[in-house]
Structures are given as structure tokens and as C-alpha cells.
Amino acid sequence: MSVKSICWSCENVIPPNCFLCQKCNKIQPPKQIDEFKLMGIPETFDLDLDELEKTYLKLQQLFHPDKYSQLSDQEIKYSTLLSSMINEAYQKLNSSISRATILLKLNGFNRHSEDKSFNDPDVLEEIMDIQNEFLEAESSELKKLTIQKLNSKISETMDNLSISFKNRQYETANKLNIKLSYLEKIRIDFKKQL
Amino acid sequence: MNLIKIKEPKSSKNDTKICLGIDFGTTNSVCSVKVKDKFQFILDEKGETLIPTMILYNSKTKKFGNQIMKNESYFNSIFSVKRNFTKDFDLKVYEDENGSKISSMEVSKDFFIYLKNLCEKNLNQNIFDCVITVPAYFDEKARSGIMRAAFMAGLRVRRLINEPTAAAFAYGLEKKKEGIFFVYDLGGGTFDVSLLKLADGIFKVIATSGDPNLGGDDFDILYAKWLVKKYFKIDFDSLNKREKLKLVKKSKLLKEKLFESQAFNEKLKVNECVKEIGINIKDFNKVINNLIDRTIQISMKLLNEVDIEINKIEGFVLVGGSSRIKCISEKIKENFETTIFDDVNPDFVVSKGAALHGYELLNGSDNVLLDVTPLSLGIETMGGLMEKIISRNTPIPAIKEQTFTTHENGQTAIKFLILQGERETSVNNRKLGEFILSNIQPKPAGIPRITIMFSLDADGILFVTAKDEETGIQNKLSVKTNDDLDLNDMRKIVESSIENAKDDIHQRMVIEAKVKAKSFLNEIESVKKDIELLCSKNDIIDIEDNVNLLKKSLETNDCDMINQNIEKLNKVTESFAQKRIEKDFSDVIGKDVDKID
């Protein structure tokens, strides 16, 4: 599948996932690659987010258009494109939900088709319960307690998600990820109401 | 041969490139520059760094900043022109020294020329490159308007950066600080807040918010209103324009005096009636209380949005002339348990950040500035709702695509309305522009696939492309003012005018001629089909020849020739223009137009 690409400036061969020509050091037109490859990090759910940020910043230090402002229009265009892609990839990988979605997609799971048929009664009940608990909580102290409960549910779901990715159980991972996005939605809702 | 060799190293190696940092403020402007590791502020004829953003057009003369004396003529000056950039800055509401009507953008252009000349005098050389700061919460139109004014002044804008980001950059570099900082920037006309992470040469904006129409000017107006009501029992709005202006300026002076002392007596004159009144800080604070509360609310909302606990933040950095008002730091302390850093000069730090960044852009550096877009961008969809394509606080540059379709059978054109803002309905957001993608293959509703690409560059300037996936027909749009030239075209024109220009005036004449020519050529290009339809073969050849002639002259810096060729092209297209008006008219009558959403 992969076609050999050649530097637009010096015609040297560019290895895959390389953004600079090794011979003339010119920036190359970025290709469509997945977020993990773009950032040059292993394809895993369990990312160290501090490390991810460091990688992100290092890449921007190399490819941000500010570094190319003196060069040709073409190079400015490529750096703007690449820098935009790095920005987006970082944002997506930084969130557990979209990171899981990317991993699922890479493993042949398309979330949207599964989304509509999602009606796991246990999960729905769990969500309803915690929402009611929040509504019925009379003091802000009690509400905060519910949020704590929700937070521990979130981290529990995250742990399970991580395990199912490790065991390559993508169907389970998909369900857990949908659950996680529901929980995250209520968390933001709760915070607004506090 | 040897002589040449000796000369070479000096000119190429030791020279650093010069790039101005311009803080074009609502009330005051500041320019600075870093030359060979030495940073300096630009001084005006009076030796001042703080240059009031004021322009006075008298009969046949122009005066700027501190050149304008505080006598009668002072009140004929143009104040706060920057405020108009969030409204319609192309309206010709002012009159220049020759009595011609000019727009806010043209006034700003004149002011930029003044600043450019000052800098050139200070440094004793020609200067073209600059970094200009803009309020973080400025929208697309305002940003491109400022950039355009600077281009027309002959400045090559290397980057637009947000004011709070520039401040944090200078602050972080100077004080060698690291951590998360909250920049509270209250200027003469705008209020910005930005949350930034500073670490090891990285300056990353996490989120930003603000109000583009809240600043020191508003305090002056409120205080003036209160004073006349309280001491003269007069309604401010009943006064004439001149009297109002005098009072607002007086109120500003009183405000500045209150920075120094808590209470004093002052004579105030309203409609020839003079009274001595006691001015004190308590009254002033009470009058502006609501506005200060608003800045606190905006700050709180931003902190809530970002999911960062207050104890993770090192503190607030106060920036902007109006942040000197004492009750602001008190209010911040009351509402947030945090440290306040006021160890920078709030008037100068923004320009300094711009100059330091400009230096690094042209001379290289490991530091990197990462900013975000302050407002969401999107398009109008069915039912007048806004569909967001890039949401606020997205890091820039950003490129996002979204696919849309038609909603009527056989629809062959779609009109796109580009919007910016946070409201759900499009009428409540700012309209940036609209464009039509035509020649879509007629298909049942919902079948055509139209991809819209939003590209937001590192200056925060938006470019939009719409593409019919089937035919590959593309339509580009960039946010622009009334004439049809996008900022990339403008930038190229400025660049080409810099070479070979005899002097500043010649350079600006070249820019003007080229902008006019390029807009004209774009216009002809956009009606190419109609030309082929409506004109005779001879006319078409004639137009093509003249188009080529004009294009060729664009490669030179001969503005007389460019203007002559514009005239020629104008002549040969006259009869076409007439025919087109007739055709448009019959189109409407005959309802022979494409069904457009």
C-alpha cells in the first residue's frame, strides 16, 4: 500500500512517518496518518498525559508556522497544515473518550454504528440513579458527595476500559467507552449546576 | 575579487533582522524593538514612549499623538478609533486634512504610517517588518481590518498576536517564571483574560475570553455622567457633542489623578457653569463597580470552564493601563484566593512581548507561542441555526472539515453564511461573509456532498473553502472588507512593493495601485462566464489582452503604468458592465435563477 514519497525540493526518498527531508531538511507535505503515528507514540490507551504534552510541545517547537515565517509560501503552507494536525491529534489523544474511539477505529470498530443500538439496561439504570441522587440532594455538601461518587465511577470505568484494551476485547471496550462518555456528560452537567 | 570577499561577512553574519512590536491601543500605542540583543522602546518627538492613539486632521495638516496640544483643537481630534474595528470600520465617518471622507481603517492607516516613520527616525533606517498585537477577544473581521490598515501603511505584518499572550511572553521571559498564569488585561477599550502555561520556552494559551467593548473609556463615560448628574443636576445625554467630549476627557484626567491621590478638589465646568467639587476614590469606585464586577464574572467563568483548580494557578498578572485602578486588585483578591503580580509596567509589556516575538520570528529561537481562537466559527444551517466547525479555545493553526448536503431536489447552488460567536441562532452571531457554491450537479435532496474546510492560520485569520466532492468545483472565501482582496494577496503586494520602492510615499502609492488592480482582476475573473456569454468575440479578445497587460504591469513597481492599465481595462469592460446590469435585471424578472437555499 505505502507509496514511496520523494522530497518536493531535492527528490530524496522520504521514509514513512517522516516530516522533514533527511537530506535537505525541508518540511514535507503532511499525509493522512493516525494520531498515534503522527505523535510518534505507541498505540495504547494507557498514555502518560504529561509525557503526551511534552511530545506535543516538542513537535510544535519543530513545526509551528512561526518557525517557517521566513521561508517560502509552500513551506509555510505545509507547516500550517502539519501544525494543525498536531494540534488536533493532541486534543483527541488527551481525552480518554476520543483516545478510546481512535483505538477502536484502528481496530475496526466504528463507534457511530454501535451508538444508536446502545441500550444496555444496567448502564442506563446506573446513570439514572446517579442523576436522581444529584437532583434529590438537598445541600451542596450532599451534591458534592454525589459528584465524588460519580468521579469514582468514572475512574473505575477507565480502569476497566484499559483492561479490555489490553485483552483486545474491543466489543467490551466499545461499550465501556460509550458508558464513559455518558458519565462524562453528566459530570459536566453537575459541575454547571453546582 | 579580494575586496568583495572582505566585505561579505560583515553584511551577512552580524546583522540581525529588525521587526517592530506594535501595541496599537484604543487609548495609547507603544512601539518597541529588539536590535542585536538590545531591547528598546521607540520615542516620539517629545521623548515619550506612550503615544496617544489620536489623530487630528486640520486644514492641510495631520497631527498625531503627543503632537496634538491640549487646547481647543484637541477636541476635534479622533479618539479611540480602534473601537470601530468591532463595528463597521469601512464606513466613511471621518474627514481628512483635504476634506475627503475617510473610514476608520484609513485613519488607522495614517496612524500606522506615523508610527512607522517614528520608528525609522529612531533607528535611522527603513523598517517594514512588524508584529502587531490585537485584543484576544477580537473577532475575524476586526483582526483582518487591523492587518489591512497596517498593510496599506506599507508594513509587512509578520504576525498578529493576542495582547494577553504578548504580555505573558514578555513577562515569562523577563521574570523567568514557570507555571500557570492568569492574565487580566484591561485596556482603554477592550478587556481580555487568558490562561497560559509557561514552561521552558513554551508559552501555551489554555483558554481565553473577554469583552471587546469594555475598557477604561467606559469608566470615563460613566464617571462623567455621574458627575454632571450629581453636581449639576443635568442629564449627560442632553448636552451637546462637544460638551460631552470635554467632560469625558476631563473625567479621564480625574481618573488618572485618582491613581495618585485618594481625594482632591477640582473645578468642573459644564455649559459655562463652574463649580468646585470634591473628587474622591470612593465615589469613583462605586460608579464603575458594575463594570469591574463584569470583568470578575468573565474571569470566573473562564476558570470554571477550563477545569483547573485555582490553587494550581500561580497568580494573576495585571496588564493594560486601566488595571492600575486600585479597586481591581482588591476585587480580585476578594474573589480568588491567589497572588497578584503587578511587577510589570502594564502599559509597556504588551508591546515588549510583540517586539521579542518579532525578533524571534526573523532571527530564530527555540521559544514557541501557542495560541487559541477566542470565538467559535461555523456556518448557518437550516432554520437559522449556527453549526460550529471550529469551537472556541481550539489551538491555532487549525484546519477542520465538515460535509453538508442540499435540502431540495435538483438544487444546483448553495449559499454559505460564515458566522462567528457562541450563540445558537445565527442572527445573534457576527456574520463574517457569505459565498455561493454553484454548478452543483442536480441531484435529489441529500445526495450531493459538499465539503467545507475552515482553515485558521497562526494569525487567527480564517480562510474557507467549499468543494463539491463530485465535480471538484471549489470556491474560496477569506474574511475581507468591502473590496475583494484577501489578506494573502495583500501580503504579497506589500512584499513586492518593498523591493525597489524609491521611498515610503512611492511604496504606498505602489501598494494602493496594486490593490486596486488586483481587486479589479479578481472581479473580472469572477464574471468570466458572463463575459463569454454577453460579449462579442472581438470584445472578449480586447478584454483578455488588457487583463494580461494589467497582470504584466503588476510585476513591476511602476504605479503610473498600473493605473493607466486599470483605466484601459475599465474602458474596454464598460459596455460589458452595462450588459451585465441588464442581464441581472432580466434574470430577476424572468425568475431564471438557480434555486438557492
Let me know: does A45 contact A170? Beta carbons within 8 Å. no
Domain at B20-214+297-370: CATH code: 3.30.420.40
| Higher local confidence (pLDDT), B54 or B88 | B54
Going by their DSSP bridges, the two strands B191-199 and B202-211 should be labelled as antiparallel
C-alpha grid cell, residue A15: 521514509
* 8 A C-beta contact, residue B76 and residue B62: no
**Do residues A35 and A104 touch, judged by C-beta distance below 8 A?**
no
Return the residue in A66, A82, A87 with the most chain B beta carbons within 10 A, the one to mutate for interface testing.
A66
In a domain, A42, yes or no: yes
Radius of gyration of chain B (CA): 27
> How many Cβ atoms are within 10 Å of B541's Cβ, its own excluded?
12
- Assess whether pLDDT exceeds 90 at residue B587: no
Kindly calculate the radius of gyration of chain A based on its CA atoms and give it in whole angstroms: 21
For residue B257 the three cell numbers come to: 489623578
Are B186 and B295 a contacting pair, CB within 8 Å? yes
Q: Are residues A134 and A160 in the same domain?
A: yes
Three cell numbers, residue B249: 476627557
Average pLDDT score, chain B: 87
B399 → closest Cβ in A60, A65, A84: A84
Tens-place pLDDT, residues B179-201: 999 999 999 999 999 999 998 88
Render pLDDT for A15-27 as a digit per residue (tens, 0 to 9): 877 888 888 888 9
* Cβ-contact B185, B194 below 8 angstroms: yes
Say what the pLDDT of residue B480 is: 45
Residue B417, pLDDT above cutoff 70: yes
CATH code for the domain in which residue A32 is found: 1.10.287.110
pLDDT computed for residue B477 by the predictor: 58
How close A59 gets to chain B, by Cα (Å)? 11
Band (pLDDT 50/70/90 cuts) for residue B593 is: very low
Query: What CATH number did the domain enclosing A137 receive?
Result: 1.20.1280.20
Residue A115 to residues A150, A177, B263, Cα–Cα distance (Å): 22, 10, 67
The answer to whether residue A1 is domain-embedded is: no
How is residue B500 written as a grid cell?
Answer: 525597489
**CATH 3.90.640.10 fits domain B216-287:** yes
Short-list A39, A37, A6, CA closest to A24: A6
SS3 labels along B330-393: HHHHHHCCCEEECCCCCCCHHHHHHHHHHHHHHHCCCCEEECECCCCEEEEEHHHEEEEEECCC
User: Does residue A127 register a pLDDT over 90?
Assistant: no
- Predicted pLDDT at A115: 53
Phi-psi region of B593 (alpha: psi -120 to 50; beta: other; left: phi over 0): beta
Domain identity same for A64 and A36: yes
**Which residue among A48, A67, A94 closes a domain?**
A94
Query: Which residues, 6 or more positions from B33, have their beta carbon under 8 angstroms from its beta carbon?
Result: B18, B19, B20, B21, B39, B40, B42, B119, B123, B355, B358, B359
> Chain B residues within 8 A (CB-CB) of chain A?
158-159, 201-202, 204, 304, 360-362, 364, 366, 368-370, 394-400, 455, 457-458
Question: Is A107's pLDDT higher than 70?
Answer: yes
Asked, for residue A179, whether it belongs to a domain, the answer is yes
Which residue is closest to B301 within chain A, CA to CA?
A192
> Quick check: B414 pLDDT over 60?
yes
DSSP-assigned letter for residue A55: H
Give residue-wise pLDDT tens across range B471-493. Answer: 776 666 555 444 557 888 888 88
Strand order, beta sheet including B430-437? B385-390, B377-381, B414-420, B430-437
Number of domains in chain A: 2
At B10, the pLDDT band (50, 70, 90 cuts) reads very low
Residue A82 lies in a domain: yes
Cross-chain residue pair A87–B396, CB shorter than 8 Å: yes
Does A70 sit within 8 Å of B458, measured CB to CB?
A: no
List C-alpha distances in Å: B34 to A184, B21, B37, B41, B310: 48, 9, 6, 9, 35
A131 occurs within a structural domain = yes
d(C-alpha B554, C-alpha B239), whole Å: 53
Which of B294, B299, B344 minimizes the C-alpha distance to B318? Answer: B344
The pLDDT of residue B146 is above 70: yes
What fold characterizes domain B373-482? Substrate Binding Domain Of DNAk; Chain A, domain 1 (2.60.34)
Which tens digit of pLDDT belongs to each residue from B271-318?
888 899 999 999 999 999 999 999 999 999 999 888 888 889 999 999
Mean pLDDT of chain A: 87
Residues A130, A188 within the same domain: yes
| Amino acid B200: pLDDT | 85
Residue A52 shares a structural domain with residue A119: no
Strand segments (E) across chain A: 5-6, 13-14
Q: Is the pLDDT of residue A65 over 50?
A: yes
B203, B218, B372: which is closest to B295 by C-alpha?
A: B218
H-helix or E-strand spanning residue A185:
helix A170-193
Using CA atoms, how far apart are residues B215 and B229, in angstroms rounded to an integer?
22
Cβ-contact A155, A75 below 8 angstroms: no
Please state which of the four CATH numbers 3.40.50.2000, 3.40.50.2300, 1.20.1270.10, 3.40.50.300 is assigned to the domain occupying B483-597: 1.20.1270.10
Q: How confident is the model at residue B399 (pLDDT cuts 50, 70, 90)?
A: very high
Higher per-residue confidence, A5 vs A36: A36
Is residue A78 in some structural domain?
yes
Q: Which of A72-86, A137-151, B66-80, B421-435 has the highest mean pLDDT?
A: A72-86
The domain of A139 spans 112-193
Inter-residue contact B468 to B450 (CB < 8 Å): yes
* Per-residue pLDDT reduced to its tens digit, B343-352: 899 999 999 9
The domain limits of chain B are 20-214+297-370, 216-287, 373-482, 483-597
Cα–Cα distances (Å) from B206 to A83, B3, B194, B371, B393, in that order, read 17, 55, 7, 8, 7
Percent of chain B residues past pLDDT 70, beyond the cut: 93
Q: Does residue B500 have a pLDDT over 80?
A: no
Partners of B387 in the beta sheet?
B379
**Torsion from C-alpha of B290, B292, B295, B301, nearest 10 degrees:** -60
Chain A contact set for B369 (CB, 8 A): 64, 66
Please check whether residue A19 lies inside any domain of the structure. no
For B31, B40, B149, the CA distances from B351, given in Å and listed in that order, are 6, 11, 18
**Tell me, what's the pLDDT at B475?**
67
- Say yes or no: A79 and A138 in one domain: no
Q: How many residues does this entry show for chain B? A: 597
Q: Position B203: which residue type?
A: F
Whether pLDDT at B595 is above 70: no
Transcribe B9-64 into DSSP letters: HHHHHSPPPP-EEEE--SSEEEEEEEETTEEEE---TTS-S-EE--EEEETTEEEE
Asked whether residue B172 carries a pLDDT value surpassing 70, the answer given is yes
- Kindly state the helix (H) or strand (E) to which residue B451 belongs, with its residue range: strand B450-456
pLDDT value at B443 more than 90: no
Question: B69 pLDDT band (50/70/90 cuts)?
Answer: confident
Mutate to test the interface with A, among B202, B356, B391 (most CBs of A within 10 A): B202
- If pLDDT is split at 50, 70 and 90, which confidence band does B589 have? very low
- For chain A, the residues whose C-beta falls within 8 A of a C-beta of chain B are 57, 60-61, 64-67, 69-70, 80-81, 83-85, 87-88, 90-91, 191
3-state secondary structure of B250: helix
B590, pLDDT greater than 60: no
Contacts of B159 in chain A (CB under 8 A): 66, 69
Q: Do B458 and A64 touch (CB under 8 A)?
A: yes
Cβ neighbours of residue B288 closer than 8 Å, sequence gap 6 or more = B219, B222, B223, B325, B327
Whether residue A138 sits in one domain with residue A179 = yes
Sign, CA torsion A97/A101/A106/A108: positive
Question: What does the pLDDT read at residue B342?
Answer: 86
Backbone dihedral angles phi then psi of residue B381, each to the nearest 5 degrees: -115, -175
Q: pLDDT band at B13, cuts 50/70/90?
A: very low
A118 and A158 co-located in one domain = yes
Please give the Cα distance from B70 to B477 (Å, whole number).
45
CA B490 to CA B156: how far, in whole Å? 10
Query: Number of A:B CB contacts under 8 A?
Result: 57
